[in-house]
Amino acid sequence: MRTFVYTSRPSRVVFGAGTVGRVAEEVERLGCSRVLLLAGPSLAGIAARVREVLGDLVVAEFDGAAMHTPVEVTARALDVLTEVSADVIVAVGGGSTTGLSKALAVRTDLPQVILPTTYAGSEVTPVLGETRDGRKTTRSSPAILPETVVYDVDLTLSLPLPLTVTSGINALAHAVEALYAPDADPVTDQQALDAIARIGRALPRLAADPADPEARSDLLYAAWLAGTCLATVGMGLHHKLCHTLGGSFGLPHAETHTVVLPHAMAYNAPAAPETMRRIAEALGVPDAPSGMYDLIVSLAGPTSLRDLGMAESDLARAADLAVATPYPNPRELTADGIAGLLAGAWRGSRPEGPPSTEAALARLTEEVVASFARTPDPRVRTLMSDLVRRLHAFVAANDVTDAEWQYAIDFLTRTGQICTPTRQEFVLLSDTLGISSAVDLLTNSRTPHTTPSAVLGPFYVAGPPETPLGSDISGGLHGTPLWVDVRVTDTDARPLKDAVVDVWQSNEDGFYDVQLPDLDGPVLRARLRSGGDGRITFWSILPAHYPIPADGPVGQMLDAVGRHPYRAPHLHFMFDAPGHRRLVTQLFVAGGAYLDSDTVFGVKDALVVGFTPQSGPTPDGRRVDGEWRRLDYTFRLAPLAG
């Protein structure tokens, strides 16, 4: 049973995209009307937007916030604040602007509304760090905690990638240290683990596309969670080291956090194995400290204190300062231990994880993914990175053997070798694995008002012979005569004129003409053009179910998994109508075989229709002895987007 104390820090949080539009409302909600607006000089565009929303509520502005919150800067801002009798502070920016806002609030007790543009998290903590005569001091007070935080994802979209990475890792550090804090509690644990998992997922996505709004939203949300952890429980070795390196050696804040975190984790790992296991799980890596290092490398983040400008000769003094005053930390702090940690961080070496195949595999995966870092097309980079990650994970999860992988390569080689201009075994493979249908679903997911699409299949031949409405496309082949009378309309049921409609099908034995070299010319395939009423009519024969070509590698695969190779009987259609999206689909014969086990997963309920048995006179007066069938259907096409 766990015994704990949980203290919540009440702030009002408004989260979303475009929430900057609500900042005036939030000021008024606090009963205020005279805003001192603080904004960093580099945020001119964002500040202009906040100013526009606040309008006449702004009585003064100050853009001189500086790193580590020097008291001289605070004094100047305080003069401005007092002179205009401001009754609320609105701050937009990163840690420095938030720091200045807090410094003013603790001196005046004025309420604060903060709009963060980075992931530092200080907007939800009651802690203020200030510098006086080059010395940094920290204090905590409820008056320091901002009343309202407006998180607007849009304000973070243009944060440069290197800053995004270091600021994101800074947030990760809050969550990591919260997990092994002596005053940790279960609520904070959950927030920390959620933050770690979200940051671990969002940063690689942003490295591929820095303006990805979903990843930005995830990261900002995680930064809030991590900031809340920082506000709730005490931090350990990592924060202490970063504080020392920033305060006494002038190293930049977020970059220092990024370099030190894997090393501080590695130092603490032997004393906090369960915490490291949970962090590793949240990050999806086998070992937390080295996984953290690999993540930073894959994001091209900084990995060495040397690169941040620290002199090697300063390491010993930094180690002494870091152990000078005791503070809670999972592993005892020894001068030698910390000196070793700092030496590793200075060199930028990878913290050693336990030697394991998993760790080696994870390193290999990251190495391959990192090799795509300079791919010019971001989409290609994303697809290649994800493909490699999933293939490596597949190999690992199934313990794939040499022989099995060799078999797979041989299978794919044979799949390629059997391909000819009229035999596409890779399409068959994609179809029988349901991938073609999956891509089709994603690409052509239309509204319920349009006819569903279905796979093209390998038997389509471009540019079939154009034939007049009402013709017979069966080329005299034997079979049950079929009268097709279909309409092409838009989504409002208006007929579409001049739609070019390609149709193709198998004969009654289940073969397409391209599979029958003895046939003379295209048969059971044609191109028709709709008239003013949107109608297409033609004679054909009833299509039969058929096996897909099963004499190659795909057939062997179906055999090996105990599947049959049959397609349910169907007629193929391709529509191209002016102003409308191309529709490729099939109509299936209701009551036909294999409707519920079509080998290419192509059947959709809305495409199963009656090919109704008939006898007697035909629609165009053609003489048919015995049974014939008719197919009536209306296809609805989607308009071209935009």
- The binding site for ligand BEZ (CB under 6 A) comprises 428, 431, 455, 457-459, 548, 567, 600
Nearer to ligand BEZ, 480 or 515 (CB): 515
Give me the least distance between CB of 567 and ligand BEZ, in Å please. Answer: 5
Give me the least distance between CB of 632 and ligand BEZ, in Å please. Answer: 22
Q: Which residues lie across from 613 on neighbouring strands?
A: 629
Dihedral, CA of residue 114, residue 119, residue 123 and residue 124, to nearest 10? 130
Instruction: Name which of Fe ion, ligand BEZ, none residue 600 binds, using a CB cut-off of 5 to 8 Å depending on partner kind.
Output: ligand BEZ
Give me the least distance between CB of 636 and Fe ion, in Å please. Answer: 22
8 Å CB contact between 601 and 541:
no
Give me the least distance between CB of 600 and Fe ion, in Å please. Answer: 9
Nearer to ligand BEZ, 596 or 625 (CB): 596
Instruction: Name which of ligand BEZ, Fe ion, none residue 431 binds, using a CB cut-off of 5 to 8 Å depending on partner kind.
Output: ligand BEZ
Instruction: Name which of ligand BEZ, Fe ion, none residue 259 binds, using a CB cut-off of 5 to 8 Å depending on partner kind.
Output: none
Question: Which range touches Fe ion (CB under 5 A), out of 4-12, 50-58, 431-439, 451-459?
Answer: 451-459
Nearer to Fe ion, 411 or 460 (CB): 460
The residue of the chain with the least Cβ separation from ligand BEZ equals 457
SS (H, E, C) 391-458: HHHHHHHCCCCHHHHHHHHHHHHHHHHCCECCECHHHHHHHHCCHHHHHHHHHCCCCCCCCCCCCCCC
The residue of the chain with the least Cβ separation from Fe ion equals 457
Please give the size of the binding site for Fe ion, defined by CB under 5 A.
1
8 Å CB contact between 90 and 37:
yes
Instruction: Name which of ligand BEZ, Fe ion, none residue 428 binds, using a CB cut-off of 5 to 8 Å depending on partner kind.
Output: ligand BEZ
For the beta carbon of residue 196, count every other beta carbon within 10 angstroms. 29
Give me the least distance between CB of 397 and Fe ion, in Å please. Answer: 35
- Burial letters for 305-342: b for 16+ Cβ neighbours within 10 Å, e otherwise? beebebeeebbeebbebbbeeeeebbbebeeeebbebb
Question: Which range touches Fe ion (CB under 5 A), out of 288-296, 400-408, 436-444, 454-462?
Answer: 454-462
CA distances from 495 to 489, 607, 634, 635, 639 (A): 4, 20, 10, 10, 13
How far apart are the C-alpha atoms of 222 and 507, rounded to whole Å?
60
Give me the least distance between CB of 566 and ligand BEZ, in Å please. Answer: 10
Nearer to ligand BEZ, 284 or 555 (CB): 555
8 Å CB contact between 464 and 522:
yes
Instruction: Name which of Fe ion, ligand BEZ, none residue 484 binds, using a CB cut-off of 5 to 8 Å depending on partner kind.
Output: none
Nearest-CA neighbor of 110 among 40, 33, 39? 33
Sheet hosting strand 570-576, strand order edge to edge = 525-529, 500-504, 570-576, 583-589, 608-609
Give me the least distance between CB of 628 and Fe ion, in Å please. Answer: 22
Instruction: Name which of ligand BEZ, Fe ion, none residue 569 binds, using a CB cut-off of 5 to 8 Å depending on partner kind.
Output: none
Give me the least distance between CB of 431 and ligand BEZ, in Å please. Answer: 4
Residues at the site binding Fe ion, with contacts judged by CB under 5 A: 457
